Structure 1
């Protein structure tokens, strides 16, 4: 089934290259992608633009201005996770495939989705390995055969099962000349007469015998290098090496013997080969391995400061465009004359797509820790980095010598007295201190008087947090003293935890803001609560709840002081934290962790008891944003009784249904959502409430005729009653603020757009006090 989507190229997240901010402010209800565009793997010529494929999306480069433009799921694509992509200049059509076998066809600024392969049950692998264009068709080489797309009708034209008796067979590439269609398969090079009229019949396809390799060998690459010759790459079993031949229909010639190739492609009338940290360009008409027209390698690299981790390249006249593993796309003008004027081009974004945790500062910055650990809680070995977003640009940590040896930063905390001072938890190296975006210290057993100790050879720092007194608290997993601290005098100390939790992994830590309790949750479904004196008690996540859970994944305190607990079977809430140390046995608290009961279609059920909850975020309106392992993001009312939103990869631009972390910019209301496929944000209507009523801010103001969105009013105290009148005092709307912000759609009580004029805004807090006022001009 084909679904048609319009692609709006005037992007709300349009990117400039250098001269202008890379991000513009998001409007209410608007999504923005914060993907990394540094790792690229394909470049295609679109005339005035270059199309570049990255890990989860694409971008364009304008050849004349060198400005970049994002092309992701936020602004038109149907999916995330780009598999292969290609552009056909004859039909001016782009074909994009995804790692889940979804397909987009892009033509004249419209996106047409072809989801047949993704949706259907198919024998064999659904992988799409390459794309070949011929005569208005796109031939997709798939794990089960060949799929032909009709680029004019934007649909599947035919499918060729070319294995024995029309069985599935993995095809790696296709090429077509005047007489035959060739297929590179796991069982050798196959062909059929191009005009047979029965290409869907496996009997039409034959294996081409050759004396140079057994016929049942995997052909991993195939290109037509000139009207007379094919270039065929044959994989050597059990290795990453290939032997490359040319074939003119009769004779075979060996051109490369058992070498490693990242890629081989045609660009115009040139053959480009990509080996290990090397690239060569050859004349396709008179192919000669001893006559490379251009060469890059570690021994000859004219690109200043650029390593040769290259995936693809394209020749554009005298210029070369190179897809690099971590430098974006490299523009190399006048490459044959050893020009040094190269440029690295990519839309702004974090340096990597991995997200472990997201932290928002009070001054409106967003911090992403991209370290990781495995499902068995082993270290991943990701290099230490933190990515910071100031609303306009992303920035990585400044490079320092200490950074090279530090791995897997999981979480961070911001000094409440200094926004430029950050402490971070490394699941390998210890506690990392950062000032002014540079790593300045690493705390281990050697400089903490043996308070911080590893287990047994590396650290397992699960979390760090500042308490209300400015002490740094450190959750040190699998050690005798699992809770350590650095007090505001600079003295290290610790609390023993082994007698309570043994050497179980501590997975995280939450601080109670009212009674200063510390909540540590472990890998064996335990929650250990400690006070400032080191007294301890277990909080049983199954006490008082009928739905039993076996894993605690996160704990977050809401604005009412309640502890919301995310488990492998939904949500539990501990309401009476002040009594958490009440106990009948001296070990376990009598405080209950209760299920939230809510109504769905008239049926009472426990809140998300069918979901594995990874993270919980409390927004400015005390609403609960719940990130799940398999089903995206749920947004619930403050008490959890009403579902407000449910964002999934299927009904929103969300890149993946696996959500690992969330945080809200309390100055703008923008919610940043970390998935296993990168970072995305959504401008929510909630905002942190003002402590005292004051001047209201209205945006946009004035509201002009070309504005079709809503009007945001902020500056309220929490949950204010908001009334809007015209200048004569006639009421036109009645709103309730969500935290410190209310949203008006510009309509009156009858649902009609109000006419041009000045409208007055009045508010009062729930107690009738804390009043505020403002006004907005509407021009129709």
Structure 2
């Protein structure tokens, strides 16, 4: 048997090369490490704080290492760092006043007490000084003392005002506060403010001698981890296997972020041109809120702005600009002095004929098309001309255009059926629905609509300020008696009562995975993974129980091949390796693969089989044909825990994976080698 197993290992290594894919359940943080603000020298290493992220540079071997909430830190969005060489400790302070002590490469000790101190509201750290095992942090309300040896917070000296800097000697502590310069003897009870002596009203001389110098060493040029340019992910979406990111946006008002378009493919980050665009257009280059890639040319893109029209790029370089001055795009404030800054375009999307559609907020012509021949077509819809915050769009399987409107007092959902004829409007259907009626006939309150997605059965899900709504029969949207569905979730408390799904949550983003499950991103409660019909919560990720950077989710996108879920948050981008992938259209020889394969003795994680058809029936059997385990793939992916149906780890051997589609008409076989 051992020789047979070894032969199969050799055979697998020859015929089944598997493209690297991360383990199911694995998180990855995609933080920006550009724009460094602090650098601490730690022997031959430099710790560098950039855009709220932390990395180190080893000057001996030129290696880089990043640190994040995914591993090994306990929080995100770092504000301050300081290095103590005697105890080889990096003090890390986050913007929310959480504190980590990093020793070595991965040992982290979290000190959350200062963050959790509710009696204080001003906690910003201004300066840090060290004395032996003590670290003294000057904050916006006093001095925080940390014992690095015991790895605990020792004291907090509450001055009730801002402390800009402090100095510690073996006998006393001196503090420069906004009320003057104070000193206290370390042997006294410094928790009592009466123990402090005022030395001077003027702190300028002391501060000149104790500056907080952000850079104690220079960051070597080019020594920056491959990372996004900014921690902005207002909109994200995939074009084939390339992730596109728009960093700006338009919520209630402009975000006023520098125009930013970033891409991520094959593990590498890149960004489009930013410098020089405003000089060419004469307008500020700001608030890019979505990106569309030309289906016929992966190097050709359009990017929409929340106020200045759309920009065209070739190979990431700016080539053209379309606004109210040279195109049919319209301003929301005609005649206003700054009317050119209110050309609010969003929802760029290509149809199957390679025509580029877009929505124009608060404009007479709410929808425009840049046709594949370079000509423009504009549509006038009186019911939608005053709609604010037109945003997300989809073109469904019927070819209908849907667009969301997210202003609460006037929000809703727009749909256009142009019957496949852009220039012939005689057979068009269009409707802007601002009030929804649910399945029970209840007229719902006015709702803002933030996002939209079509699932694998043609059902449309929309996210509102009061939870998701489901359009189970979207082809009836133009009917006067059209109704949506509010998913009811049983309470399971013996009352036979149910609650509407997430009815108190603002839903910013919805994505459908390969298993037709729904990923729901909320404004303040993190990320949900729901069953196909939404009645079961499979996962609920928050910043407290996962590496999620923030409970405020701004955008979602799922890698079309691997099923990796990319999650835009208010603090940056993370991704999670889901257990669902897109189902294949048929079983093809060589496309069904298992990993890891072989399964070696030290491995105890899940074994994944990819390349299957949607919801395949799967059986794991021995070479003798004995059934070991069976189940159903999630989309095109099946996960086996390496155990039999009784939960016992299977012994060494070769195991056959038998898969068939839901009708049982197609089947495939692949092998998994297990070594114990």
Partner residue in 2 for 1:205: 196
TM value normalised by structure 2:
0.89
Offset at 1:140?
2.0
> Distance in 1 between the 2:163 and 2:277 partners?
47
Q: Give the Å deviation of 1:124.
A: 4.9
The 5 Å alignment of 1:503-522 reads 503-522=386-405
1:267-312, Cα deviation, whole Å (9 max, x unpaired):
xxxxx6xxxxxxxxxxxxxxxxxxxxxxxxxxxxxxxxxxxxxxx3
1:716 paired with 2:612, answer yes
**Contact 2:388/2:411, CA 8 A, preserved across alignment:** no
SS in 2 for 1:417: coil
SS at match of 1:344: coil
Change (3 A) 1:179 1:673: same
Asked whether 1:97 is paired with 2:89, we answer no
Query: Is the Cα–Cα contact under 8 Å of residues 355 and 661 in structure 1 kept in the other structure?
Result: yes
Summarize the alignment of residues 601-640 of structure 1 with structure 2, pairs less than 5 Å apart: 601-602=492-493, 604-640=498-534
Q: Hey, what does 2:6 align to over in structure 1? A: none
1:746 maps to which of 632, 638, 642: 642
Comparing 553-562 with 500-509, greater Cα deviation is found at: 500-509
How far apart, CA to CA, are the structure 1 residues paired with 2:666 and 2:374? 41
What is the aligned length?
628
Which position in structure 2 is the counterpart of 1:372? 249
Pairing 1:486-505 to 2, within 5 Å after superposition = 486-497=370-381, 499-505=382-388
Q: Does 1:593 align with 2:484?
A: yes
Counterpart CA distance in 2 for 1:101 and 1:451 is: 46
Show the 5 A alignment for 1:145-294: 145-161=142-158, 163=159, 168-194=160-186, 196-209=187-200, 215=201, 219=203, 232-233=206-207, 244=208, 264-265=211-212
Give the ranges of 4+ consecutive aligned residues of structure 1 lying more than 6 Å apart after TM superposition.
none
Residue pair 2:460, 2:472 contacting (<8 A) in 1 also: yes
Relative to the length of structure 1, the TM-score reads 0.77
- SS in structure 2 opposite 1:598? strand
Are 1:384 and 1:403, in contact at CA under 8 Å, matched by a contact in 2? no
Aligned counterpart, 1:761: 657
> Equivalent of 2:545, from 648, 651, 663?
651
Q: Larger RCO: Structure 1 or Structure 2 (Cα < 8 Å, ≥ 6 residues apart)?
A: 2
TM-aligned CA deviation for residue 541 of structure 1: 4.7
Which residue is 2:305 aligned to?
426
CA shift in 2, pair 1:399/1:129, >3 Å: closer
Q: For residues 509 and 353 of structure 1, what CA distance do their matches in structure 2 show?
A: 21
1:477: which partner in 2? 361
Q: What is the 5 A alignment of 1:439-478?
A: 439-448=318-327, 450=328, 455=333, 456-458=339-341, 459-478=343-362
Looking at structure 2, the residues matched to 93 and 129 of structure 1 have their Cα atoms a distance apart, in angstroms, of 19
**In structure 2, do the counterparts of structure 1 residues 46 and 410 end up closer, same or farther at CA, with 3 Å as the change threshold?**
same
Contact 1:599/1:642, CA 8 A, preserved across alignment: no
Residue 28 (structure 2) pairs with residue 32 (structure 1) = yes
| CA distance in 1: counterparts of 2:498 and 2:223, whole angstroms | 54
Contact 2:488 2:535 in 1 (8 A): yes
Q: Match of 2:5?
A: none
Aligned-partner SS, 1:630: coil
Specify the alignment match of 1:313 in structure 2: 215
Q: Is the 8 A contact 2:384 2:432 kept in 1?
A: no
Q: 1:446 to 1:128 in 2, by over 3 A?
A: closer
- Distance change in 2, residues 1:97/1:33 (3 Å): same
Matched residue of 2:114: which SS? helix
CA 1:642–1:124: 2 relative to 1, 3 Å: closer
Would the alpha carbon gap of residues 556 and 117 (structure 1) be closer, same or farther in structure 2, given more than 3 Å must change?
same
In the alignment, which residue of structure 2 is the partner of 1:297?
none
1:494 Cα shift? 1.0
Aligned to 2:450: 553
1:386 aligns with 2:383: no
Distance 1:24 1:702, change over 3 A: closer
Aligned pair 1:678/2:572, yes or no? yes
d(CA) in 1 for partners of 2:505, 2:374 = 43
CA–CA distance in structure 2, aligned partners of residues 769 and 92 of structure 1: 64
Post-superposition offset of 1:526:
2.3
Change (3 A) 1:542 1:63: same
TM-superposed CA distance for 1:447, in Å, is 4.1
* Gapped regions of structure 2 (runs ≥ 5): 1-18, 334-338, 419-424
Task: Decide whether aligned partners of structure 1 residues 372 and 594 sit closer, same or farther in structure 2, where only a CA change above 3 A counts.
Answer: same
Rate the CA distance shift 1:451–1:190 in 2: closer, same or farther, 3 A.
closer
CA distance in 2, matches of 1:97, 1:401: 36
Partners of 2:504 and 2:274 lie apart in 1 by 44
Q: CA deviation at 1:477?
A: 1.2
Counterpart-to-counterpart distance in 2, 1:773 and 1:440: 51
SS at 2:253 equivalent: coil
Q: What SS class does the counterpart of residue 485 from structure 2 fall into?
A: strand
Rounded Cα–Cα distance in structure 2 between residues aligned with 1:403 and 1:27 = 43
Q: Does 1:354 align with 2:248?
A: no
Partner of 2:286: 407
Query: What is the CA–CA distance in structure 2 between the aligned matches of 1:155 and 1:509, rounded to whole Å?
Result: 48
Query: What is the CA distance between 1:177 and its match in structure 2?
Result: 2.3
